[in-house]
Structures are given as structure tokens and as C-alpha cells.
Structure 1
Amino acid sequence: MTQYLSPLLSGVALIAMASPALAQQTDPALQDVILVAGSRFDSPAHQAVTPDATPLLGSDITLLTARIPGAARIGNGELSGQMQYRGLFGERLNLRVDGQRFASGGPNLMDPVFHYAPAPLVQAVIIDRGVSPVSAGPGLAGGADAVFKRIGFGETGDTALHHDLTVGGRSVNDSLSVGGVVGAASADWRVNLLGAWEEGSDTGFADGVIGGTGFERGVFGLSAGARTTLGEVSLDLRRQNTGPSGNPPFPMDIQYFDTDFARLAYAHDFGAIHLDASVHHTDVTHLMDNFSLRPSPAAMQTRASLADATTRGGEIALGLEAWGGRVEFGVDTETVDHHVSITNPANADFIVTPFPDIRLERTGAFIEWTGPLGPVQSQVGLRVDQNRHDAGTAVLGSALPMAPRMLANAFNAADRSGDELTVDAVARVWTPVRNHLSWRATLARKQQMPGYIQRYGWLPISASGGLADGNIYVGDLVLEPETAWITEIGFDYASPRAYLRPTLYYRQVDNYIQGTPFDSTPGLLDTLVEMIAGMNGDPTPLLWRNTDARLYGFDLDGGYDLDGPLRIDGVLNYVRGERRDIDDNLYRIAPPSLQLGLTWEASIWLATLEARAVAEQDKLSATNSETATDGYVVLTAYGDWQVRDGVRLSLGVENLLDEAYQDHLSGFNRNGFGDVPVGERLPGSGRGAFLRLSIAG
């Protein structure tokens, strides 16, 4: 059983096993790995591990990332969950899908980055421990990459067929998910098709049904590559169509996301120099409305919003041995175009563009060195990015009244363009493993540009970049970049019977962007913004402003191999977020939590009883009128059976005691269907069975 106790050095392995290629790309001091499918590996950087099955608790892979130290999930819908990491979330995290950075299409982040990573297609989620390396791109804190399944190159010139398929279902919402890859490869070429389909109805909870939570999502595409004497070329193409899907915390629901991904990459060794280059393109088209999946309001209040986002980018990097280690340096560029229009389907003269023709441009360069530094191993890096931003002219139809016209005129007359230089620096050190122990420490300075919602939101509406809190926000054209000063220290311990990975961290964030009262007289409608916000249902709008903040905490994972076939594994999280400019707490911070699992393991099967305990959250943001939540404990039982080589079956029951609970990071219900009162925080899902069958070969 000792092979189960080494995830400290190989990452956090949660479902099945990773491929050798994936294992060799990660360093245990720098990354956690959530493994979803593949085969057992042995690597110099990773001890051999046969990880457990994980409960199939939904289609959103943020349910997986929430199981690692420091992480939590913001539940804004079955397909719209966001990853929180040590108190930060949204665009502050450097999130990628299959190595590709791109902008979400929805102004309320109904399609956060991991919306585009359906679980049946994901091989592994690689978590940047603590902070992202500068080579992975900009970002205020940590990050993650959802790596897709693909058929790799063969070892001989013979052609071989391969497949990796998964089918699963949950009774709590009558959902079905099916998908995977099929293809062929030789030593010189590879090609695979990929596809997935997921659908579900409204989710049940202890006291009834959460109305408007059904969903559907489909993906298809291909991945191909070729090796020649001139180098290796790869092409990835993917189309994702998300159909009608409910988002009860938002004022509207998803009608569709139609999204195209393309990435062309090249790699080659020129003697001792390794070259990586790629170009990528993502195009998102989005429609949402407030009447198709929830009780329709009066005709004059019906709304349908159209949004699109296009991301174009490229990068080139060179790596070589230098200064006793390995140095990588490169340049990358990214251009993102956003546009949002709000319409009334019952009135052709009602149209307004709250985010008109916005363009964000970034060009960056980095250098990163990894190698021994005296008695320790180290990674040090520097990144410099030139950022530019601009917005078009706000447009209003003839049905819009004078007040928003006056705000639009002021926005159109303002200077809407600008540029900013941001600088990131990261230094990480860790000791070689001695007596089963390795110490590690990080110092970093990271910067993050304001989001387009925060800068260009001239119209008082509830577009919040994914907060889904019912508040109305307006932007500020002169926001400064956020700057985080980060320090953390911890150790990794792994003996034949136990492992433990605690981390202490502190993040001081200057110019932290937070919703704040619009003026010094909240509730007194003495400005155009407050008057319009009052007509839209919130007489106390919030203005995005630069503030000062700090986040600090402690997290760990660990386990112990008991006598006989039993072992225990756990994850503990604690994070605090505070304002430094005033006496207040940061908004929407995960409460302390503890997850413990007791596993009985036989030769080809295992069974786990897991308890997730979450404390009350009473460290609240008064500025954002945040409300407290009670603590709760949820039990889940699940098992995993290796039926035969290449075939495994996972099944279990979530929320065994049918506990009624509310997660602090969940939004508030705005859908009149179902058994959750409007204005109440959305509950967690009730008791239900789940099953997953995986077939690979």
C-alpha cells in the first residue's frame, strides 16, 4: 500500500493515472496534479502512484480542483463554476485549457475558463503550486491547466489504434456524460478525434428541486501531429456548443455558447537549443436571456444579451542549458476583443451596448532559470508585459430614456484608451529530499490588469465578472493594476507510511480592485448612476475602485497508512481576506474546511467513506452586504473497481444523509421556478447515486 502514500512528491492524484509524458513535465515542488485518466507511470520526478477514484459530483471540473490544498469552488451553475485558490478567483488566476489562454465570452463569467474543459475529455488538471511561473503567462497568483486526452506518438513505425472513453451519470439531476478520444498513431504521426456530450435536468436537494439548473453541452474536434527531421508539428481544433443551461444566481440564463478553438504548434531541437512556438485563436459567441428558462417578466422587462469575445495570440520560447541549470526565455502576445449588447426581444428600438468594442492587447517577454543554487534547487523568473486597452462608442436605441443617454455621452467623451507596463518576478527554492523531507519557500511579485468589466462598465447593471451577488456595479476608467507581494513556506514529507504537505502563505495586494459604495451617501439617489441603479432594483450601486488588501492562511494535505488494508487521507484549508485601507473583510472568501477519507483497499478494488466538514463563515464584507453561512458536514461513499486491464468502474452515493446545506461561495437564487425561494442562497445538491465507466486501450 505504500505506493498510495507518495502523492506529496507526485502531486494530488484524484481519479486515475497519468501518462509518462505528463509526469515528466511536472516538478513536485512546483505543481499539484489532479489525474483524471491514463496509465500508471514511473518517472524520476514522480514516485509511482495508483491514485484513488474520486466521486463523480458533477460535470464541472472545478469540483475536482476544489479538492486540492488551498482551493474551493464558486458554484454559479452546473457548467459555470469558478475555481478559487487561496482566496482569489476569476481573471486573477492564470487558467488554461490544454495549454491555451483565452478570454471568456460572458460579462458575468457564465463561461469561466474551465467551462471549456468537459470532464470526459480531461486527462489531468495541473495546478501551479502557490504562484504560476512567469513562463506560463501573467496572473496575480496561482494557476491551473486542464490537459486534454490525446493519442500520443507510438514507439515503432507500425500503426496502432487507441481509445480512451468514459460514460457516467448522476441520479440527483438525471444527468448523463459521455466522451473521450479515438485515434491512431505511429512513431511519426498521430491523429485522434475527440467528442463529449453532457446533459442534465434540475438538481434535487434535501427540501425539493433547485429550479432552472438543467444543462447541455457538446464538444467535438481533433488533435493531430507529425514528426519529421524538420521538427514536430501539432494541430488542435475544437468546437464547443453549450445549449440552454440554467444559472439561478444570475439575472439571465445561458441560451448558447458557440465557441471555436484552434492551435498550431511547432517544436524542434537545434543542437542544444530547444524551440517551442505556437499560434492560437478562440472565438466565443454567446446569447443569454431572462425568460426562456425562468418565469418571464413583463414584456417591457424582457432582456436578451448578445456577447462575443475573440482571442488571438502566439508565443515563441527557447530553452537551453546555462549557468549550471536550464534557462528558458521567450516572447508572447495576445489580443482580445469584447462586445456586449442588451436587447428587448419585444421592442426592436431597445438596444444598448454596455461594453462596446473593447480591445485588450498584451505583449510580453520572460526569462526563467531552473537549477541548483548552492544547497537548494531553485526557479527564478522575470516577466515584463506591455498592456494596452481601448473601447469603442456606446450605442443606445431610441427606446432608452435620457438618463442612460447622458451617461453614454459622458463615457463616449472620456479618454477610453491607455497603456500600462506590468512586471512579475518569482523566486522559488526547495531542498533535496533528505530523511523523507523537502523544505520549500517562495517569494514573488505579481501584477494583474483590471478586467474590462471593472474598467469599462459605464452603465449601472449587474454585470459583475462572475460574482453573481445581485449587486449593481459601474466601472472606473482610471483603475490601476493590482500588485501582489507573495511569500509562502512549507515542506513536503513522505515516508513509507505517511505523507504531509503543509503551507503557510501571505499575500499583500496593493490596488486590489473591489466593489465599493458609489459615493459617500449610499441610498441617497443624488447622481445619475444611483438613479438608474435604483430603477434597475438596486439603489446602492457599487463602484470598482483600487483598495488595499491582504490574504493569508494555511493549507495542507496528508495521509497515513493504517495497519491492514486501511488508509486515511485529508485536506485542510484556512484562508483570511482583509481590507488594509479600512476595517473590513474581503468579499466571498471560502470558510475553513476539512476533508477526510477512510479507504479500504483490496488488490483490484477500493472503497472510501469521505466526510467534508465546512465551518461557518462570519468574517464578512460589510461593504458588499455579505451574509453569514452556517457550517455543515456532508458524507460521501464511493468505490473503484479495476474490472480488467483498461476497464474500470467507479460508483457511489453523494450526500449520504441528504444534508440540507448552503455553501458560502454559492450565489443567491433569482429563478422563480423550483423550491428555493427567490433571494435565498442556493443549496448544495441532495443525496444521489453516481456511476462512471472508463474504457481505454
Structure 2
Amino acid sequence: MKTTLFLSASVAGVFSYGFLNCGEAAAQTSSPALEDVIVVTGSPRSAMRVDATVPDFTPDAGPDVAGLIARLPGAALIDNGALSGQVQYRGLFGERLNIRVDGQAFASGGPNLMDPPLHYAPAPLVGVIVVDRGVSPVRNGPGLAGGVDAQFKRVDFTDSSDMAFGYDVTALGRTVDDSYAVGGVAGAANATYRFNILGSYEKGDDVEFQGGTIASSSHKRAVYGASAGAKLGRQEFGLDVRRQKTGPTGNPPFPMDIRFFETDFARLTWNGALGGINVESAFSIADVDHAMNNFDLRPAPQDPMRYRETFAKARTLSGRFAVILPAADESLRLGFDMEDADKDVRITNPNNVNFFIDSLSDIQMQRKGVFVEWTGAAGWLNAELGLRADFHDASAGEASLGPALPMGPVSLASAFNASERDWDKTTVDGVVRLWTEEAKGVSWRLTLAHKTRAPGYVERFSWLPTGASGGLADGNVYVGDLQLDSETAWIAEAGADWRGERFYLRPTAFYRRIDDYVQGVPFDATVGVIDSPQEMIAAMNGDPTPLRFANVDAELYGVDVDGGVSVTEHLRFDGVISYVRGKRRDIDDNLYRIAPPHASLAATYERANWSLSAETVLVADQNKVSATNSEQATDGYAVFNLTGDIDIAPGVSVSAGVTNIFDKAYRQHLAGYNRVANSDVAIGERLPGNGRGAFLRVHLSR
């Protein structure tokens, strides 16, 4: 199941998995059939079986690695800002995906998901991206869809007792936003010890498109940290620490822009063997401080009383411990994991010290999980069988307001404080994954799963009508619901991996039936009639028809295919096709923000130390839109890209290219709607795709 996937516009480049490794997880993955790791862009000079994505040798996809993952079959990019991109996978996105950064899961700091997990994975620092295709195994935690782990580069152990020095550095420049990025790792290691420092810095101006400039779309981000490890007998210990400082960064589809994120990460791991039992463990912390406002990067409101600055905090403690009992070609994994997240959100007006709202105060979200997973084979049939149970607890503190607030919010806060603000639930997930041994070049796959997700804190505890939507960016005002139940999905997927000497083909069909799907619905039955305090406040915030998060019934189904063929020794074609359909089952409506059918086809000519690739990206119309979310339809388009690279010396490679060669004007369906005044994009208009841009990337490694 782990086959080579030289996807669209892949370019030449070799990434050596030796002294300079991409991360512990890449070296510790289980059987290829269990993780179904997909190559995003591979090297024509690499082996047919590879382990993961190599970002340094891909066409430029923007500052976030979310753009790289979006090139996968079934995936798409949700562009909420230069550093706020999300991955959509087979119609699902946000907290429904199990996304980790260097093996660590954590809570976003912003109530509008301005810092989704991949916000903390700058491309110059990422070595590989491991993707759980279809659904995540139970050992990786709950979640309705597949999982992603963006693993950092690091200087890894060697086979010698002598210390050796290594580094991996990337520098990149783009014209479409006059941006640059530089970052990497450097350190030393031997067979017993390893150590490296890491760092990156990125800065870019507003994005240009065919027709002008997208105001409030600049970005700025810096990361620094260190990684160390030791092998003591059969035990291996690791420590990773990192600090990220995101500076002023625009978010045109949101009512505010990022002023800062200041985030600290620490992760301690222990993996080893005790007798005949293997042990895996990790403990980590993530601490996020965040501020956003509506006056620094975008035109400030004319009325000083409309100035807003929101401060948010999130701290996540997480831990994991598992034992693996091996037996011949079988293994049994028993484990425990936990996650404890604390959150606070305060809305202020810097022009009035008496205006403040603790809208989401003292939020406590705890989860404790146990899981068991068996992997084995019976003749030609391989199987992974997993079961997990999670025990959820959630609570909110009392809301408080400053004396400048009118009676409407005060009465809503009083009602919220008088309500029952505690919630607990036990959820159960199960996964059955079956696949056959390859016979005559074909391996068949079947996955059946029952997966769950507990609602997020914005969906549950938002008593005040605001634009905070957990990253939906649809321009609506939302209210939470204390009575929300957990989402439950029944999943079936079937496919095949077909490979010959000169071609590969990987089709997959899937179906997800989701009960209690959390979706915005009209606040009450009298839509447009302002007859409640919530609707009155929402109208004051510009939306007389607010939405309320509620449990509905939904389904998603579709098919995705990737494949390629080598025409000659030096010429090959690769392509990806993705189709997903999302519908409500309780009413006649479509799910919001579902990617339109899209495909890409690339022709690549490659020699021993250079390659050139021409790509066509085709996107269809999307008119199956959500009436509930007032979603606008979009037209289809075609974009052409050209990319090449060359190895100019051992450890030195250069990549360059032009994206959107013909400067096509188009609207990405998954982009949000502009909310910034005095831009070349009208307020309420869907944000455009990038115009023509060139990039140059230099990669140095030893």
C-alpha cells in the first residue's frame, strides 16, 4: 500500500534518509500497509518504495505546508490567510482531521482557527509529511477522517562512535507576494547522542492577483528551537523544544487579522524495550498566547467604539503510553493517551478600558483514551483491527463583562452563567483495515470504521453572537449550543494499488454517513425577524440572520485516483483526480465548503541530475453549495505551472518555477470572502487565487 506516488508537477530531487533524518516518526513507522504513507512529490531518482513527502523538492505551494498536502488525491486547500491554511480531506476539515506537528497534537489558540496545527509547521523546517490515508488508526487518537503528521528535520543518530556534523538549510523567494523564507537545522551526532538547533524566518507582503492586490494578506513568522536525543542500551530518549513568534499577518476572510501568536512547545519521548515488550511514550506541552484586531493591518473603523482587539490563550498538556507485544508477524498494541486543554478568550476595545467581554472564559477540555490494536496476517490477507474508547469532559467558567457593555450582552451572560456548563461523554471508535498481498501487481484494500468527534469549545460554549466560527470564514455570526452531542461517522472505503514496470494506479471509493454532524442552522424559526437578544446583537454585528451550531445528519461520498506512466526512460506523466459530494440528510441542502471536482496532470522530463515538469490544474464549477451558509457558487478554471530543478553539486540543489503562467483570474471555491475595506477585492467577494508568480529555492544539506 505504500507505493511511489509521483504526483502532479513533481520535480527532481533526492532526500537522503541517513545521517540527516526527517524525524523519529519517519524512522519508526510500522508496516507500510498500516500507515499508507503517500509521497506528495518524489524524486525520479528515488527508489520505488519511499516513506513520505519531501517538501524541499516540490513546486512552490505557499508558506504553509497545507498547500503541499492539498496536492494529494482527495485533498484540497482551505485558504484562510497566508499562515492559516487548512487541509480538507474527502470533504472534512478543521478539528475533524487528526493533524499533528512532529508527532504532537495540541489545541489551536484562536477561536477562529487562525492558527490551525499546520500554522506551526514552516516549510523550511519540515522534512517529511506522513499521511494516514482514509482514516487514522486508533493509536493516533479520535477524528472523523485521515491524519497528518508534519515531521521536522533533525540531525539523527549515526552508526559510528565519532561525532559528525550535519545541516539541512532551505532558502526561498517568491514574487507573487515579494516574500522570502530561510530556515533549517544544524547539529552533530554519533551512535549514542544527537543534538541540533533549528530556526526559520519568513516574511511576505500582500498577495498579487490578476486584477490587483489582496489587502491585508501579508505575513511574518519566526521559529527557533533545539532537538536532542540519546540511545542508552535498548532505550532511546528524546527532547524537542521550540518557540514560534508569528507577527502581524493578514486574514482577509475574517473580521480581524493576526497581531501575534507567541507559542512554546516541548516534547519528551521515551521508546525502548523491556524484556520482550516494546514501549512507546511521549509527554508534551503547547502554550499559545494570541492577539488579533481590526485596525492594524486593515483600515481602522471610523467610529472609535468599533475598534476591537481580542486576546486568547490556550495551553495543552498531552501524554501517551503504549506497549507492543510482538509475536512472529503479528503485534498487539495496548495504550493510553490523554489531552488536557485550557482556553480563555477576551474581547476588548483599546479605546475604552471599560469595554471588555470574557466571552469564552476558563474553558476546560479533557480527554482520556484507551486503545487496543492488533496487526497480523492470515495467508494472503493482512489486517489491522483497532478499538478505542475516549472519556470526554468539558466545562466553561462564568462570563464577565465590563461596565461599558449594554443590557443585551449582560442578559445573555447572566443566562449563560446560570446554565449547566459541564458536559461529559464516552465515545467509542473502531477500525477494520484489510489488504491483500500484491499479486500480479495488484493489492486490494478495504476499510470499515466507526469514528467520532467531540464538538469544539466554540461550537458548544459561544453564548455571545460573534463571527467566531472555528475557521469556517463564511461571514456569518454564530451562537453555540450547550446541548451538542458528539459526531458519529460510519465509514466504508475500498480501493486497489495497481503497479507495473512502467505505471501505477491507485483508485479509492469512499462513503461517510455522519450522525449528529455539527453544522450551523438558522437561530430560530422566524428567520430575519429580530425577536431575541441573540438576533439583536447579531444584527448590531452586521448579520440579522445568525446561525446556531446544531447536530444534523450528513453524508459524504466520492472517489479519488492518482496514477502515472513512464513513456520513455526520461519522460513520464502523472495525474490526480478528486471528487467528493457532501449533503445534508435531514434537509435538502449541501454541506458548506466542499471542494469542487478537480484534477491535475503533469509531464516530467528527467535526467540524472535535473528535471523539468509542466503541470495543468483543472477545477470544475461548484454549484452544489450550502444555502444555510449563504455560500456562493464558483466557476471552473484551468491553471498552468512550470517547475524545474537541478543538482549543481553534492548536497546543493536549486529549484525554480512559474505558477499560473498565463496570469489566469480565478476564484478558489474553498477560499473565504473578503472582509477588508479599500482592497482590490470588494467586501463580500470571494477571494481570488494567486496571480502569476515565480519562485527560486536553494537547498543545502550534509
**Cα distance in structure 2, aligned partners of 1:52 and 1:173:** 20
Equivalent residue for 2:139? 135
1:22-101 correspondence runs (5 A): 22=26, 25=29, 27-29=31-33, 30-34=35-39, 46=50, 53-101=57-105
- Residues 559-600 of structure 1: CA distance to partner in whole angstroms, max 9, x if unpaired? 011135211001100000000111111111000000110111
**Cα distance in structure 2, aligned partners of 1:383 and 1:49:** 29
Amino acid at match of 1:117: A
- 2:239 is aligned with 1:235: yes
Contact 2:6/2:564 (CA < 8 Å) preserved in 1?
A: no
- 2:531 is aligned with 1:534: no
- 2:394 is aligned with 1:389: yes
Equivalent residue for 2:568? 563
**Cα distance in structure 2, aligned partners of 1:368 and 1:13:** 35
- 2:660 is aligned with 1:661: no
- 2:657 is aligned with 1:652: yes
Contact 2:108/2:117 (CA < 8 Å) preserved in 1?
A: yes
Equivalent residue for 1:162? 166
- 2:482 is aligned with 1:477: yes
Contact 1:18/1:38 (CA < 8 Å) preserved in 2?
A: no
Contact 1:312/1:335 (CA < 8 Å) preserved in 2?
A: yes
SS where residue 410 of structure 1 aligns? helix
Calculate the TM-score normalised by the size of structure 2.
Answer: 0.96
Per the TM alignment, residue 56 of structure 1 is displaced from its structure 2 partner at its CA by 1.1
Q: Cα distance 1:369–1:13, how it changes in 2: closer, same or farther (>3 A)?
A: farther
SS where residue 32 of structure 1 aligns? coil
- 2:16 is aligned with 1:7: no
Q: 1:206 aligns with which of 201, 206, 210?
A: 210
Say which is worse superposed, 392-401 or 555-564, in terms of deviation.
555-564
- Residues 661-697 of structure 1: CA distance to partner in whole angstroms, max 9, x if unpaired? 0000000111114311111110011001101000100
Per the TM alignment, residue 27 of structure 1 is displaced from its structure 2 partner at its CA by 4.2
Amino acid at match of 2:4: P
Unaligned runs of 5+ in 2: 19-23
SS where residue 33 of structure 1 aligns? coil
Equivalent residue for 1:172? 176
Q: Cα distance 1:202–1:329, how it changes in 2: closer, same or farther (>3 A)?
A: same
- Paired positions, count: 692
Equivalent residue for 1:117? 121
SS where residue 405 of structure 1 aligns? helix
Equivalent residue for 1:326? 331
**Cα distance in structure 2, aligned partners of 1:111 and 1:615:** 29
**Cα distance in structure 2, aligned partners of 1:660 and 1:651:** 22
Per the TM alignment, residue 645 of structure 1 is displaced from its structure 2 partner at its CA by 1.7
Q: Cα distance 1:28–1:52, how it changes in 2: closer, same or farther (>3 A)?
A: farther
SS where residue 88 of structure 1 aligns? coil
Equivalent residue for 1:494? 499
Equivalent residue for 1:443? 448
**Cα distance in structure 1, aligned partners of 2:591 and 2:496:** 28
Per the TM alignment, residue 50 of structure 1 is displaced from its structure 2 partner at its CA by 10
Per the TM alignment, residue 469 of structure 1 is displaced from its structure 2 partner at its CA by 1.1
Contact 1:34/1:64 (CA < 8 Å) preserved in 2?
A: no
SS where residue 199 of structure 1 aligns? strand
**Cα distance in structure 1, aligned partners of 2:502 and 2:451:** 38
**Cα distance in structure 2, aligned partners of 1:582 and 1:49:** 40
Per the TM alignment, residue 23 of structure 1 is displaced from its structure 2 partner at its CA by 6.2
- RMSD over equivalenced CA pairs, Å: 2.2
Q: Cα distance 1:430–1:37, how it changes in 2: closer, same or farther (>3 A)?
A: closer
Q: Cα distance 1:286–1:39, how it changes in 2: closer, same or farther (>3 A)?
A: farther
**Cα distance in structure 2, aligned partners of 1:625 and 1:205:** 25
**Cα distance in structure 1, aligned partners of 2:66 and 2:110:** 18
Amino acid at match of 2:454: M
Q: Cα distance 1:621–1:106, how it changes in 2: closer, same or farther (>3 A)?
A: same
Per the TM alignment, residue 17 of structure 1 is displaced from its structure 2 partner at its CA by 3.0
Contact 2:552/2:586 (CA < 8 Å) preserved in 1?
A: yes
Unaligned runs of 5+ in 1: none
Equivalent residue for 1:505? 510
- 2:243 is aligned with 1:245: no
Per the TM alignment, residue 354 of structure 1 is displaced from its structure 2 partner at its CA by 1.4
Say which is worse superposed, 273-282 or 114-123, in terms of deviation.
273-282
Q: 2:17 aligns with which of 19, 35, 48?
A: 19
Equivalent residue for 1:144? 148
1:604-623 correspondence runs (5 A): 604-623=609-628
Q: Cα distance 1:193–1:49, how it changes in 2: closer, same or farther (>3 A)?
A: closer
**Cα distance in structure 1, aligned partners of 2:328 and 2:611:** 47
Amino acid at match of 1:73: L
SS where residue 63 of structure 1 aligns? helix
- Residues 150-184 of structure 1: CA distance to partner in whole angstroms, max 9, x if unpaired? 01011110000000000001011110000000000
Equivalent residue for 1:380? 385
Q: Cα distance 1:48–1:173, how it changes in 2: closer, same or farther (>3 A)?
A: closer
Equivalent residue for 1:594? 599
**Cα distance in structure 2, aligned partners of 1:410 and 1:564:** 71
Contact 1:389/1:417 (CA < 8 Å) preserved in 2?
A: yes
Per the TM alignment, residue 39 of structure 1 is displaced from its structure 2 partner at its CA by 13
Per the TM alignment, residue 227 of structure 1 is displaced from its structure 2 partner at its CA by 1.2
Equivalent residue for 1:405? 410
Equivalent residue for 2:21? none
Contact 1:485/1:507 (CA < 8 Å) preserved in 2?
A: yes
Amino acid at match of 2:237: V
**Cα distance in structure 2, aligned partners of 1:134 and 1:13:** 32
**Cα distance in structure 1, aligned partners of 2:54 and 2:416:** 57
Amino acid at match of 2:213: V
Q: Indicate the percent of aligned positions where both proteins have the same amino acid.
A: 53
